[in-house]
Amino acid sequence: MIGVSYGEPTEFRYRESIIPEEKLPVWDPDSVASAIDQDDLYVDMTFAQVLDDKGLDATTEDFGAMFKEAKYNLWHANLAARRALKRGVPATLSGTPKYNAHANDIDFQIEADFVGLMMPGLPQASNELCFRAGRVMNHGDGIYGGMFVSCMYAAAFFESGPRELVEAGLACLPGQSPYAQLIGDVVEWSEQHPEDWITVWNLVEEKWNKREPCPEGAANAFNIDAKLNGAYIALGMLYGDGDFGKTMTISTRCGQDSDCNPASALGILGVVSGLEGIPDEYKSGIEKIADEKFSYTNYSFRTIVDSTQERAIAMAERHGGRVEGDQLLVRTQAAVPAEFETWDDYGSPVERVPVTDPRWSWKGDWGDRISNWGPPHTVRSSSSKGAEATIEFEGTGAVVSGYYLASGGTADIYLDGELNRTVDVYPDEDAPKGWESVWHDYGLEDGKHTLRVVVRGETYPGSTGSDIALSHLVVFR
């Protein structure tokens, strides 16, 4: 609650740059009240509700059923997963790159606190639950982000050293995964530069900030990739020396998703310190809102704490622990790396081709407008049946980036002369979403391909129109 409230004013306002100290928010204890409306918290809690309703053995399908009917606005991997679920994709597949161009995004990483907080000393059980829940919206590194954070939480019940906590999270990941390799680099570089987190930040940028597959971030400064932002959590932990304010400041200053990352880091430190150990200057505003329900949930601060404690006791007992008086005795587990799965071998984004590029050809009635969603760019749209957009590219994959609209319609996508599939651009919510995947496909044969978008002029159920709006082609190789 404290970390997300502190970092929210700078979220994604600093991309590929460190936030200057003078631009950091000024903390006031009452700032924590903004946590009530933060998706970083209420989405997390709706997953906890599934466990409270269905029990500790809630299935991926149970988590998917909740997510499918969620009424709040979503973004990135979460939005892609909900759209897939509503279109009949099973929850076991809605996070995979076949259906979700955001499979490596940060979404489950910022929603996994509920797992770690109920897993005292139980990293194996943590990984198992992370896979059950996280596969709804993520895959590969996107799930490993949740495992990394959750295993640090699990270790924090018995370990206080920041380096030991980061290494405990790393121990839960398959070593060959890009996520584990990045965190391993951060640990190694921090040993080489023990007083200089900025040098390590620059090393991370140089080596790892080039493979973001998200339709908004690919070949752009924006990066919502789980592992890059996971590195920022680790930097805050490693250089924060266990100090609440210092950890919060560093993980925020790293930029990009600068509210989620201090939220994760401070959540883990909060387990180490307990509520009593959190400095009053940060926690004193919580009491005023402790009985107020978080948006879209049935929980207040007090009731989610009670719920989490009950689940933690039940999970410890399931794995050989017991309650004796006011103590919970835990039979702790050794960490075991998760099974390895990845889709990073599909290629990296190498080019972003705007709709104004002459390589696009257009047929029929299309109109232009300038969008300020992110850097100003041209969006070309049509609702006319038979309007076409064609482009040739060379690579192993591509994303047609555009807009999800309340007036979104349908289009047929042809790849190399054959109908690939019919898509729609209705977001299943009122809010439009820019830089989204109208269509994507990976793992193509390396070579030249021709892509054609044909507007059907049909209204998707629930939509108010038949618009198709395109902005870029992102090429992978």
Q: What is the pLDDT of residues 2-43, one digit of tens each?
A: 999 999 999 999 999 999 999 999 999 999 999 999 999 999
The pLDDT of residue 373 = 84
Specify burial of residue 418 (Cβ count, 10 A radius: 0-12, 13-18, 19+).
exposed
Q: From CA 131, how far away is CA 124, in angstroms rounded?
A: 11
* Per-residue model confidence (pLDDT) at position 33: 97
Residue 223 CB neighbour total at 10 angstroms: 26
Task: Provide DSSP, 24-62.
Answer: SPPP-GGGGGGGGG-HHHHHHHHHHHHHHHH-TT--HHH
pLDDT beneath 50, residues of the chain: none
- Name the nearest CA neighbour of 126 among 78, 181, 171, 192: 171
Per-residue pLDDT at 344: 74
Q: Classify residue 275 as exposed, middle or buried by CB count within 10 Å of its CB (0-12, 13-18, 19+).
A: exposed
- Rounded to the nearest 10 degrees, the angle between the axes of helix 244-253 and helix 260-277 is 180
Checking DSSP bridges between strand 349-354 and strand 327-329, what pairing results, if any? Answer: unpaired
Residue found by looking up tokens 């507007």 in the block? 455
Write the DSSP assignment of 202-235 as a string of letters. HHHHHHHTT---STTTTTSS---BHHHHHHHHHH
At residue 211, the pLDDT reads 85
Neighbours of 107 (CB within 10 A): 32
Query: What are the tens digits of pLDDT across the range 316-362?
Result: 999 999 999 999 999 999 999 999 998 877 789 999 999 999 999 99
Percentage of the chain lying above the pLDDT 70 cut: 100
State the Cα–Cα distance between residues 411 and 459, nearest whole angstrom: 10
117 burial (CB, 10 Å; 0-12 / 13-18 / 19+) is buried
Domain 347-476, CATH class in plain words: mainly beta
- CATH homologous superfamily for 2-329? ADP-ribosylation/Crystallin J1 (1.10.4080.10)
Question: Which residue in this structure is represented by tokens 């879209």?
Answer: 296
Domain range summary for the chain, segments of one domain joined by +: 2-329, 347-476
- Please write the tens of the pLDDT for every residue from 388-415: 999 999 999 999 999 999 999 999 999 9
Residue 358 in tokens: 């002459």
Q: Compute how many other C-beta atoms are within 10 angstroms of the C-beta atom of residue 342.
A: 18
Please tell me the predicted confidence (pLDDT) of residue 210.
85
Which tokens hold the place of 190?
């921090």
